[in-house]
Structure formats: C-alpha cells, structure tokens
Structure 1
Amino acid sequence: MRLITTYFLVFLITVIQAFSNKSHTNNWAVLVDTSRFWFNYRHVANVLSIYRSVKRLGIPDSQIILMIADDMACNPRNPRPATVFNNADQHINVYGDDVEVDYRGYEVTVENFVRLLTGRLPPGTPRSKQLLSDEGSNVLIYLTGHGGDGFLKFQDSEEITSQEMADALEQMWQKQRYNEIFFMIDTCQAASMYERFYSPNILAVGSSLVGEDSLSHHVDSSIGVYIIDRYTYYALEFLEKVNPQSDRSLSEFLKVCPKSVCISTVGVRKDLYNRDPSRVPITDFFGSVRPIDILHDITNVTLVQRKRAKSKKPKAKPKKYMYVDPLVNFNSLNV
C-alpha cells in the first residue's frame, strides 16, 4: 500500500511539474525610469541599458513597456544630441536608432504605472501603452530612480509606496495577468519596496537594503554627470555575456554585484517564488519564449511530398471565350 502511495505521489508531482512548465508561454518587460532633470541622466541610462539587453535577447518591442520620465537624448545640455551612453568610453549609444518609448515625460506617473500593471486603462488606450500579459506571462519589472524607506519617487512630485506596489501585484495575480514576476529595482533603500509583497510566484532583487544608499558608478567628464548606477552597471556586465541560447541561471544573476564592488548590499527575496533560481534560465525573464514541439516519431519527408503530389487533381482546362457581334444570327455560328 505504501509503495502504491509513493508511486502515486511521484506521478502527481511529475504531472504538476509538467503542467507548470507548460504554463509559461510568453515574456513581457516593464521598464521604468521615474526621474527627471539632467543630473538624473544615469537613471535614463539605466533603463535604456536594460531595454537594449532584453531586445537583444529576443523580447520584441510589442512586449516591452518603456517608461522614461525625461528625454536626455534631446536635452539642450547634452553635448552629443540624440545619444545616451552608459559608459565613459561612449562605445555604446543605448538610445540607439529604434527606441520605442511608450510613456514619456509627464506621462510617467504613479497612476499610469498602476493602471498599466492592473490593466485598468481608459478605453481607447493604444495597444503600445498596454501590458497585454496573461496567466502564461513571465513579467520582468525593472524600476530605477530615487527612493527611500518604503517609497519610490515619481517625477520628484509624487511617490508610490511599498504597500501600493504590493497591492498592484496582487491585483495582477487575481486577474491572471502573470505566471511569474522578476521584480528588479535600483534605488536607495530598494529592498523596502518588496518587503510587503504577498502574492505568489514573485522573485525580487534590490540594489540596497533598508538604511543603505545605492551609489552611482562613474562620471563621464564630457557629459558632466554620473552616467550609470553601480548595480545596473554590473548587471549589464553579466547580461552582455548572455545569448538567447544561454544556460546561465537566475541564481548567477542574483550574485552579479557583491558588496565589494556595489558598496551597498544587494537584497534578494525568494520566499514567494516556488522554483529554485539555480534551475531557472535567465532567459525565462530577459529573453523571448519560443515554444518547440519535440516529435519522437520519424517522418519520411520525401514520402509525404510524393503522396501530396499524387493526391493533387489535374487542373481543369480553362474555358475558351469569343466575342460575338450581337447582330449576328447565333444559329449560323459553329460553336
């Protein structure tokens, strides 16, 4: 009896695992810069760098929501117009030629962000401004800006609290708008923003613990401001070595910025996540999903083509038509 019970439990676990693997069907990314003004150049560079990475790894623009609170590429103080760089060598223009910004400037508000996540947008909202995720979607949420203990500033004029953030994710879960979420935030006291999460299937990482500041990485003297934050800099250093077929795991990614280089302490919350991050490919969130059906039967393609050729019916000969003068007697025509 015990043996039968054991076999049944093994079978049940196998079925559940198979079902959970099939439930992931598509990937989305919500990338948000919440800061305005030239001295916050680095926050725009942060979000554009992540945007560049997820596009390179296969997530199309149609499944990326990009929110940028200020347009640094067109700022009159930018010595190189139409560009944004994340490195002092200026070898990569992360603004690029094909950036699709969905929310810009004063459109980047707490209200629009929460409405985006929960799907409570006004009628007539363009498709490009909607998060059309479903119960099969893995959603990457990346936030960067200025924060504090339990809040993240938007535009230096309003803020979203950790409780509001948690409630928005719960609404997403109740409305079947995600399969799993990877929540990633680079801001001061970042870990405080995920402390109140209570919805399942969420893995969260923050660039600093409560009471710590997140620090910028370096200044570009020609631009005159810091151009990227430390945590995002080392995250990108890792992502640049990843390709769409990579087997690198989320567990490796969570270790990209030790305190020796980040100065702040990176925080991770895994208790809401039901998978082992060491067995989750990083492309489950940063790449695209390409469902593949594996056929174990051998199919003779040549034979199939011959059968198709034989089954084709000969084409009917087209009917011939001729012009007839309406004044001519039809009985005299030999047709």
Structure 2
Amino acid sequence: MENYRHQADVCHAYQIVHQNGIPDEQIVVMMYDDIANNNKNPHPGKIINKPNGLDVYPGVPKDYTGEDVTPQNFLAALKGDRRAMKKRNPKVITSGGNDTIFIYLTDHGGSGIFCFPNDILHASDLIETIKEMARNNKFAKMVIYMESCHSGSMFTKLPNNVHVYAVTAARADEASYACYFDSERETFLSDEFSAHWMYYTETNDLDNKTFGDQFGYLQEMMMSSHSCRFGDMTMGGHPISEFVNNTPQRVRSETRALGFAPTHLTSNHDVPFKILEHRIKTETDAGRKQHLKRKYEALHKTKAKIDGDVEAISKHFKCDDLDEDYSKMDLHAFKTVAEHFRATCFDWHKEECFTQFHIALPHMHAFARLCACGVESERIIEVITKVSRKSSRKLQQGYKHP
C-alpha cells in the first residue's frame, strides 16, 4: 500500500479526461492494479485521491496491469507498435499527424530515470521515442506531465522544435512530495504536483485557460518542490481543452465548493520511513510491533549501506568542480552506468531488491553529474564494480560468527 498514491493519481487522471468527454477508446491506462482489492485496503474495491474523496476506481480501463506495466510496453503503446508487444491484443495509440496526445506519468524517479513497477524508463529511451514519433508524423502536438522525484532531469534533452511540451513535478536535483496521509489506510493518498494540476483542471474553464496559465498556478501554489517545463514553449499558449476537452460546469462548481488544501507534505524519499513509523506507533500487538521495528531498522541499514557505497564511488573522482548542468549529460552513457549500478549493487533474487533501488534513487544524481562532466562511462562502471565487490566482502564478513 506504500505506493497507493501513484495508482490513485492515475485513477483520478482517468476520471478527469473521461468526465470531460474523451472516449475510452482514445485512452490507454497502465496501472499495476494491486491496491483496490489489496487485503490491506480497509475499503475493498475503492481508491480515493484526497481525504473523504470520491472513489476514483470505478470504470478505470484495465488496458495494462500487473507484469504488463513495463517501460517497453509503454513506449510501444505510445508509438502504436503492436508488434513490439508480448501482450495479446494490446491497446495502443493509433495517432497521426493531426492528433494531440496528452501523457501523464506518476511513480518514483531519479536523475535520468522514471520507475515502472519492476523496471525503469531511461530519459534516453523516452526522448528517442518522442523524436521517432515526430519523424513519423505521429502527432501534431504532445503534452507530458510527469510526477516523480528528479523529474526535471528526464527532459533536459527534449528538442524545442517538435511541438512537445513537458511539465515536471520537481527540478532535476530535488524530490517531489507526497500529500494527504490517511491514518486508516496507513498511506499517502496523493502527490503535491498531481493534486494541484488536477484541482486546477477540474475547477477552471479550460477553453479560456492555457498550459502557461496552469504552469503559473503551479509555480505560485506548490510549497515544496518546484515545477519545471521543457520543450516547445509556444505550447504554453494553447488552451488546455485542446488536449483534454473542457471540464463540465457542474464539476467545476462542485470541486470548488469542496475546497483544496494539501496536507502532510512529505518528501517522497522519506515516505517509506514515515509509513513504518506510523505503523509502529499505532500497532498494539507486541509481536507485530517488533516485526515492524526490525523492518524499520533494516530499511535504515539498507539506506546507510547505499549511502556508503555511493560516497565511496564518488571519492574516486574529483567532485568539487563537477557540472550540475544535466543538459550536458550523455543520456546513453548515463543509461549504461545506471543499469550497471542497478545490476551490480542489488541482489535481484531478493524480493525487496526494487525497494532497495527506490532508496538508492536520490543518489543517481552522483552518476548523472559524472556523465555531465564528461567522465567516461567505462571508468565509472569500473569504480562501481570495485566498490560493490569490496562492500559485499565486508557484508559477508559481518555475517561470520567468531
């Protein structure tokens, strides 16, 4: 249930475009779909995206769920490439040169990477797909909204001449924030950036509000992270309704009447710790409380190990003068480094390996900076391997009894 908020965001986004009259055959939804009927959900079959909010789960299409929610399937569906799919009868976007495309992505992220449930989407692959679609006349205009930590790093190489406009939840060097902690569900219900853009969309006349207007609102109202935009800035002058139709007057009035004030703003880096702290505090069974405490301690040990490994890697390079300009980063070199770090420093045979990688995500900027500075990927990989082996030997020695 830790990632409840991401699926709630997706469901809410679907309800917005659906109520605005976009037909389901023109919508593709990817969601792992293990929250609504999770045995830890105190309200089976229901998902909410704000306190005492409406159920946003009914009617959400199950186009891609479970193991089908992959970066490979996402890129193939975006391009309309059914042949690249392993899924039977896959739903894809069949767009052409006169079409507009709106994409909303929400999950964990790090420098140059966006997470899927069991894999990662690299900035290099996303940008290459957008360029390929532009060459093949697959759209007239495209808008991308991305909710994740360090999401600003995903679009530094987005061309400004292909009619694509991207808005992110955070700068390249900062976390995004979760909001609305629900004590009963023991999780966060939404994310700050997503809550704001959806509220704006549901309370305004979108025929007379542009993407530029909405971005100004995000910059003014977001309290924790800083929304950024990339690509073709002329797109900011287009009405939002060109992409998602207009919000019905009834919905606008009802949403405004409910009010809006995101609470419990928490860095997404800290969310797993905050959730465990709450569960430990409220657990009444002594045995279960001890189990949760051990889990909490293990999480901190994992974080400390990752912190130490990345610090040891960084010491092999002169970091003081490294460039923070992510636009100078070789995306393909960074992908090679990131994949090697993921494969080398984590035991992928263990069930919790991807949770460990999520904890490591804030450190990916260290490798991004090295690539931006021009350090050869081969050299970075060599150091990662060396440090990983040394760390593993220390860990094994720590398990030995005198």
Same topology, TM > 0.5: yes
Distance 1:126 1:139, change over 3 A: farther
Q: Deviations over 1:196-228 (max 9, x none)?
A: 222610111000001100000111122110010
Is the CA contact 1:259–1:266 (under 8 Å) kept in the aligned structure 2?
A: no
**1:286 maps to 2:248:** no
Per the TM alignment, residue 122 of structure 1 is displaced from its structure 2 partner at its CA by: 2.4
Task: Determine which of 211, 215, 218 is the counterpart of 1:254.
Answer: 215
Secondary structure (helix, strand or coil) at the match of 1:68 reads: coil
Letter in 1 for 2:236: P
1:77 is matched with: 40
Is the CA contact 2:82–2:90 (under 8 Å) kept in the aligned structure 1?
A: no
1:120 is matched with: 81
2:24 is matched with: 61
Secondary structure (helix, strand or coil) at the match of 1:227 reads: strand
1:213 is matched with: 175
Per the TM alignment, residue 178 of structure 1 is displaced from its structure 2 partner at its CA by: 0.7
Secondary structure (helix, strand or coil) at the match of 2:81 reads: coil
- Cα RMSD (Å) of the superposition? 2.0
Is the CA contact 1:207–1:267 (under 8 Å) kept in the aligned structure 2?
A: yes
Letter in 2 for 1:109: T
Instruction: Measure the CA separation in 2 of the matches of 1:69 and 1:260.
Output: 30
Task: Determine which of 223, 227, 234 is the counterpart of 1:266.
Answer: 227
Per the TM alignment, residue 111 of structure 1 is displaced from its structure 2 partner at its CA by: 1.2
Instruction: Measure the CA separation in 1 of the matches of 2:198 and 2:163.
Output: 24
Instruction: Measure the CA separation in 2 of the matches of 1:239 and 1:267.
Output: 18
**1:132 maps to 2:91:** no
Q: Where does the alignment leave 5 or more consecutive residues of structure 1 unmatched?
A: 1-37, 289-335
Q: Deviations over 1:81-115 (max 9, x none)?
A: 1111011123x11112x221210111001111111
**1:277 maps to 2:240:** no
| 1:1-335 matches, cutoff 5 A | 38-90=1-53, 92-96=54-58, 98-122=59-83, 129-155=91-117, 157-198=118-159, 200-242=162-204, 246-258=207-219, 261-270=222-231, 272-273=232-233, 275=234, 277-278=236-237, 280-287=238-245
Per the TM alignment, residue 140 of structure 1 is displaced from its structure 2 partner at its CA by: 0.4
Instruction: Measure the CA separation in 1 of the matches of 2:222 and 2:134.
Output: 36
Is the CA contact 1:259–1:265 (under 8 Å) kept in the aligned structure 2?
A: no
Between structures 1 and 2, the one with greater helix share: 2
Instruction: Measure the CA separation in 2 of the matches of 1:287 and 1:41.
Output: 27
Secondary structure (helix, strand or coil) at the match of 2:14 reads: helix
Give structure 1 regions of 4+ aligned residues with deviation exceeding 6 angstroms.
123-128
Per the TM alignment, residue 71 of structure 1 is displaced from its structure 2 partner at its CA by: 2.6
Instruction: Measure the CA separation in 2 of the matches of 1:173 and 1:143.
Output: 20
Instruction: Measure the CA separation in 2 of the matches of 1:242 and 1:51.
Output: 17
Q: What is the aligned-residue identity percentage?
A: 25
Rg larger in structure: 1
Distance 1:249 1:178, change over 3 A: same
Distance 1:54 1:195, change over 3 A: same
Q: Deviations over 1:41-80 (max 9, x none)?
A: 0000111111111111121101000000233111111111
Is the CA contact 1:183–1:203 (under 8 Å) kept in the aligned structure 2?
A: yes
Secondary structure (helix, strand or coil) at the match of 1:228 reads: strand
Secondary structure (helix, strand or coil) at the match of 1:269 reads: strand
Is the CA contact 1:258–1:266 (under 8 Å) kept in the aligned structure 2?
A: yes
Letter in 1 for 2:115: K
Q: Where does the alignment leave 5 or more consecutive residues of structure 2 unmatched?
A: 247-402
Letter in 1 for 2:5: R
Letter in 1 for 2:82: L
Instruction: Measure the CA separation in 2 of the matches of 1:107 and 1:62.
Output: 19
Per the TM alignment, residue 239 of structure 1 is displaced from its structure 2 partner at its CA by: 1.2
Q: Deviations over 1:145-202 (max 9, x none)?
A: 00000011111x3211111100011111122111101011000011111112226101
Is the CA contact 1:181–1:201 (under 8 Å) kept in the aligned structure 2?
A: yes
Instruction: Measure the CA separation in 1 of the matches of 2:76 and 2:235.
Output: 31
Instruction: Measure the CA separation in 2 of the matches of 1:253 and 1:126.
Output: 38
Higher relative contact order (CA 8 A, sep 6+): 1
Instruction: Measure the CA separation in 2 of the matches of 1:233 and 1:144.
Output: 12
Instruction: Measure the CA separation in 2 of the matches of 1:256 and 1:85.
Output: 24
Per the TM alignment, residue 286 of structure 1 is displaced from its structure 2 partner at its CA by: 1.5
